[in-house]
Amino acid sequence: MGWIALAPLLVALGRGSLSRAFGLGLLTGLVYFTGTLYWITRVMVVYGGLTVWSAVPVNAALVAYLALFPAVFAIVMRRLMLAHGAPAVMMAPFVWIATELGRTHLFTGFPWVLLGYSQATELPIAQVASLFGVYGVSALVASVSAAAALVALSPRRRTRLGAALPVAVLVLAAALWGSWRVGRSTLTRGGEPLRVGMVQGDVNQEEKWDAARSRSIFQEYLRMTRQAIAAGAQFVVWPESSTPFYFEEDPLDAGRIRAIARQTHVPILVGSDQIERGPPPKYYNAAFLVRPDGTVGAVYRKMHLVPFGEYVPLKSVFFFAAPLVEAVSDFSPGGTAVLLPVRGHLVSTAICYEIVYPALVRRFVRGGSELLTTITNDAWFGTTSAPYQHFAQASMRAIEEGRYLVRSANTGLSGIVDPYGRVLQESRLFTPDVLVGDVRFLTDTTVYARIGDVLAYAAVALTLLALGLARRVKSRF
């Protein structure tokens, strides 16, 4: 559906005013984001202390904000079509990814379910991400909608053929090249191998800080860690905020993790909150790398916090969501892309929602990361589509960067993705599990790792240029 999703909108933009175009784009965005972010209401009701009647407006406000980006896309496309006629519809891929880039960065960004993620499991097409990132995949997918719309709008056979044929060739070329790249799989034969263990404790959110359960939860994580090491794991990864205590504040229990690392000579990555004492104290969502000698090798603090999950933006505006404001922990963002030393190599970790930021993960790789990890707690989402969306988006980072990706999730989905997007290991939701699998430390870089989001920024420049030229041309529609 992703290939033709924008075609109805683009055809509808063939006539009418700019205000009509805005309305059509807004409607498209409301359908788009209501259908993919519906689960936020559940999170706020179950864990934020809100009633359904107060959670729905908060969710609706986020959906309405995100819908503004397709609305801007629609206005720009209508303006270009007014100036240049139906052929201007072929600018849609560039205008679309320009708005996706804006959605990624404006007001801290919310780049969830970009159009290119629809192809995360279509591996030949997804390989385009190794060249131009997920935005390149979005542009390729949007080009099919643009060509379909032009075929519908243009009465001239030559124009229709001139749109459809190049796009068909481009998609076919991308698929053939992607199939060849996946078939060669050269990255899976390079680098130093490493056996990784992921522990999935399956701890319900309401049980995590229950004093009666905290001891058994921690004991289970220790048992699963030993199980992973017994299966050959040379590096063990715990999920986000997995300890029912602050790692640095409880030397006795933290010492038990250190002891396992020291006794087995296996490094352990532990997700745990961190407090920085001061007036006032600051709280961080963090990951601690415990080295084989039991010492802490590095601490990474989460840099991109989840709005309405780890902080509440515009608290005065959302006054009607007072219980949510009180329930949400007021975390501070970290400021450094810290890399973690593992067996003589550098490893990065993205905590939860951070994995959907392509530029952040690229920053890790540019800094020397040879293996991507991501730790998360998706218990909030229940059995909705959100955990599957999250896993698919994480998989795209592996393709972009040419790195293995290890994902440890409290309630799933945990797993391993290879540098071509193939899922090598995957757990089930809400099932305790220990996964052990093989990855490799890699140093070769993809085109995307070298050039970043050049295509997306070029699309912004091209869109602005096209708008500037449109001002000098009389309307043709």
Q: What residues are annotated to the active site?
A: 240, 302, 352
The first and second tokens of residue 468, run together, are: 């500037």
For residue 35, the cross-strand partners are: none
296-301 and 282-290 as β-strands: parallel, antiparallel, unpaired? antiparallel
Could you give the count of Cα atoms lying within 13 Å of 316 in the half-sphere of its Cβ?
A: 0
State the Cα–Cα distance between residues 114 and 392, nearest whole angstrom.
Answer: 11
Of the candidates 383, 385, 364, the one whose C-alpha atom is nearest the C-alpha of residue 373 is 364
**Angle at alpha carbon of residue 161, lines to 152 and 166, rounded to 5°:** 110
In SS3 terms, the chain reads as: CCCCCCHHHHHHCCCCCHHHHHHHHHHHHHHHHHHHHCHHHHHHHHHCCCCHHHHHHHHHHHHHHHHHHHHHHHHHHHHHHHHHCHHHHHHHHHHHHHHHHHHHHHHHCCCCCCHHHHHCCCHHHHCCHHHHHHHHHHHHHHHHHHHHHHHHHCCCHHHHHHHHHHHHHHHHHHHHHHHHHHHHCHHHHCCEEEEEEEEECCCCHHHHCCHHHHHHHHHHHHHHHHHHHHCCCCEEECCCCCCCCCHHHCHHHHHHHHHHHHHHCCCEEEEEEEEECCCCCEEEEEEEEECCCCCEEEEEECCCCCECCCECCCCCCCHHHHHHHHHCCCCCCCCCCCCEEECCEEEEEEEHHHHHCHHHHHHHHHCCCCEEEEEECHHHHCCCCHHHHHHHHHHHHHHHHCCCEEEEECCCCCEEECCCCCEEEECCCCCCEEEEEEEEECCCCCHHHHHCCHHHHHHHHHHHHHHHHHCCCCCCC
Q: How do 371-376 and 405-409 pair as beta strands? A: parallel
